[in-house]
C-alpha cells in the first residue's frame, strides 16, 4: 500500500545519468507504485540536483525485500570502514 509519505534529505555526492556525472544534493525516498519495475509497489529513491534541472536526476525502484537488503549492506559497509575512515 502506498504511504503517501516522502522523506527527503540533503546529501553530498555524485550520480551518473544519461549525460554523465553530476553532483547530487537531495535524496527523496517514498513507497509507491513504480513507473517501470514489475511490482505492485516499490521503495523509490530519487537522487537529484534540483538547481541543475530535471535532467539531473537518477531514480531507483526497489522491491521491499531489496530495499531492506540494501539498508543492511550500507550499514555493514559503513561499520566495516570504521569511524576513522568516515571522518
What three-state secondary structure class fits 43? strand
**Per-residue pLDDT in tens (0 to 9) along the chain, 87 residues:** 677 799 999 999 999 998 899 999 999 999 999 999 999 999 999 999 999 998 899 999 999 999 999 999 999 998 888 866 666
Per-domain residue ranges of the chain: 6-86
59 strand-pairing partners: 46
Q: How far apart are CA 71 and CA 65, in angstroms?
A: 10
Distance, in Å, from the CA atom of 23 to the CA atom of 14, rounded to the nearest integer, reads 4
Query: According to the model, what pLDDT value does residue 21 have?
Result: 94
Cα angle at 7 between 5 and 77, to 5 degrees?
130
Per-residue model confidence (pLDDT) at position 65: 97
C-alpha cell of residue 39: 511490482
Amino acid at each position: 500500500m502506498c504511504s503517501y509519505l516522502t522523506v527527503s534529505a540533503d546529501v553530498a555526492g555524485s550520480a551518473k545519468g544519461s549525460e554523465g556525472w553530476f553532483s547530487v544534493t537531495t535524496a527523496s525516498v517514498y513507497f509507491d507504485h513504480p513507473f517501470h519495475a514489475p511490482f505492485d509497489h516499490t521503495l523509490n529513491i530519487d537522487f537529484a540536483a534540483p538547481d541543475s534541472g530535471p535532467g539531473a536526476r537518477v531514480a531507483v525502484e526497489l522491491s521491499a525485500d531489496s530495499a531492506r537488503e540494501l539498508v543492511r549492506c550500507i550499514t555493514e559497509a559503513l561499520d566495516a570502514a570504521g569511524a576513522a575512515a568516515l571522518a
